């Protein structure tokens, strides 16, 4: 009887010790998953491109293992052809097996069939002012013909003729200025104010309304976007400006944009 009590006491003490050991191990185990940090990048996704470019501008850190940027992997890429964008899903795991996941949206360029290519080309010609320029030239020719019809038959030009010549010179100068302005890229935005999370770059493909040029492609103008006046990693309300530049160095008109970093 006495031996039974002693055995029970020993087992109870062993259970308490085992529970204490388990509690220590549990509390000492790393259960916090890695977190991500983003930097603003101008990456444009293209079908068949190296996925290493999609890992630029993203970093991962763990409270125990430190910098884990080199361990980030791309789980999948979800395409949205209607919005011309993709969502890239990232993942990283620390040594304790805690997995951190996040996603990021990129503008995208997809391979289009011939019919779509023709439609895009027509839209680009309209946006760039090409068709407008042809119509303007036709109207100018008609206007010139009308001027010739108003010349007096005797060929003499008086004071009215001199004034008409001066007017034509002024119109020619204005047309030259318009042509110079038309050579600059055209940039418009869909909104005047956007909200983003700190460390998360704006999804510019959703913000840009029109981005066109008489020479360069959308991709070139997108890669040359300049956004000044805000810090993506610092919370606050910023009065930023957005502009782009073509390959000839022509700059678009700066467009104001209020960026709220939360």
**Residue 22 located in a structural domain:** no
Residue 255, φ and ψ in degrees, nearest 5: -110, 125
In the prediction, which pLDDT does 167 show?
A: 54
- Examine the domain organization and report whether 131 and 195 are in the same domain: no
In the prediction, which pLDDT does 22 show?
A: 61
| Average pLDDT estimate for 147-158 | 46
Is pLDDT above 90 for 60?
yes
Is pLDDT above 60 for 131?
no
**Residue 11 located in a structural domain:** no
Is pLDDT above 70 for 148?
no
**Residue 147 located in a structural domain:** yes
CA terminus-to-terminus distance, the chain: 71
User: How many domains would you assign to the chain?
Assistant: 3
In the prediction, which pLDDT does 230 show?
A: 85
In the prediction, which pLDDT does 115 show?
A: 45
CA 57 to chain centre: 13
Which of 102-106, 152-156, 257-261 bottoms out in mean pLDDT, i.e. has the lowest? Answer: 152-156
| Average pLDDT estimate for 203-211 | 86
Maximum Cα interatomic distance, the chain, rounded to a whole number of Å:
145
d(CA 170, CA 176): 10
Copy the structure tokens of residue 113. 């069939």
Instruction: Write the pLDDT tens digit of every residue in 220-237.
Output: 888 888 888 888 888 999
**Residue 133 located in a structural domain:** yes
In the prediction, which pLDDT does 215 show?
A: 86
Strands 193-196 and 208-212: unpaired
- Examine the domain organization and report whether 203 and 146 are in the same domain: no
**Residue 166 located in a structural domain:** yes
Task: Place 98 in a pLDDT band, splitting at 50, 70 and 90.
Answer: confident
**Residue 9 located in a structural domain:** no
Burial 104-115 (b: 16+ CB within 10 A, else e): bbbbbeeeeeee
| Average pLDDT estimate for 105-131 | 58
d(CA 72, CA 1): 63
CATH number at residue 193: 2.60.40
- Examine the domain organization and report whether 56 and 85 are in the same domain: yes
Domain boundary among 74, 91, 109: 109
Which residues pair with residue 260 across a beta bridge? Answer: 195, 237
In the prediction, which pLDDT does 244 show?
A: 92
Is pLDDT above 50 for 154?
no
- Examine the domain organization and report whether 229 and 191 are in the same domain: yes
Instruction: Write the pLDDT tens digit of every residue in 195-204.
Output: 988 888 888 8
Name which of 192, 184, 230, 232 is nearest 211 in CA terms: 184
- 98 close to 32: Cβ distance less than 8 angstroms: yes
In the prediction, which pLDDT does 150 show?
A: 44
Domain boundary among 75, 109, 143: 109
d(CA 75, CA 91): 6
d(CA 120, CA 128): 12
- 92 close to 68: Cβ distance less than 8 angstroms: yes
In the prediction, which pLDDT does 182 show?
A: 64
**Residue 5 located in a structural domain:** no
**Residue 1 located in a structural domain:** no
Copy the structure tokens of residue 46. 């293209």
In the prediction, which pLDDT does 27 show?
A: 55
Which of 95-104, 122-131, 185-194 bottoms out in mean pLDDT, i.e. has the lowest? Answer: 122-131
Q: What residues contact residue 57 under an 8 Å CB cut-off, 6+ apart?
A: 38, 39, 40, 41, 43, 201
- Examine the domain organization and report whether 120 and 168 are in the same domain: yes
The residue with greater pLDDT, 259 or 17, is 259
CATH number at residue 67: 2.60.40.10
Which residues pair with residue 194 across a beta bridge? Answer: 259
The residue with greater pLDDT, 232 or 43, is 43
The residue with greater pLDDT, 59 or 225, is 59
Range(s) of the domain holding residue 120 = 114-152+159-182
């Amino acid at each position: 009887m006495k031996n039974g009590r002693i055995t029970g006491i020993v087992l109870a003490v062993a259970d308490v010790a085992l529970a204490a050991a388990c509690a220590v191990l549990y509390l000492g185990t790393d259960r916090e998953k890695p977190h991500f940090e983003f930097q603003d990048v101008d990456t444009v996704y293209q079908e068949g491109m190296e996925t290493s470019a999609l890992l630029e501008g993203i970093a991962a850190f763990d409270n125990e293992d430190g910098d884990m940027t080199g361990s980030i992997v791309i789980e999948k890429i979800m395409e949205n052809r209607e919005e011309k964008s993709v969502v890239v899903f990232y993942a990283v795991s620390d040594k304790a097996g805690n997995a951190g996941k996040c996603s990021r949206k990129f503008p995208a360029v997809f391979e289009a069939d011939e019919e779509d290519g023709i439609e895009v080309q027509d839209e680009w010609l309209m946006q760039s002012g090409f068709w407008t320029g042809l119509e303007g030239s036709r109207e100018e020719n008609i206007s010139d013909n009308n001027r010739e019809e108003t010349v007096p038959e005797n060929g003499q030009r008086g004071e009215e003729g001199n004034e008409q010549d001066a007017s034509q010179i002024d119109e020619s100068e204005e047309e030259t200025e318009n042509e110079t302005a038309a050579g600059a890229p055209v940039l418009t935005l869909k909104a005047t104010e956007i909200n983003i999370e700190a460390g998360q770059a704006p999804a510019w493909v959703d913000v840009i309304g029109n981005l066109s040029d008489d020479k360069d492609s959308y991709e070139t103008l997108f890669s040359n976007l300049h956004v000044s006046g805000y810090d993506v990693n610092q919370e606050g309300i910023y009065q930023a400006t957005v502009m782009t530049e073509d390959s000839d160095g022509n700059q678009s008109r700066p467009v104001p944009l209020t960026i709220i970093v939360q």
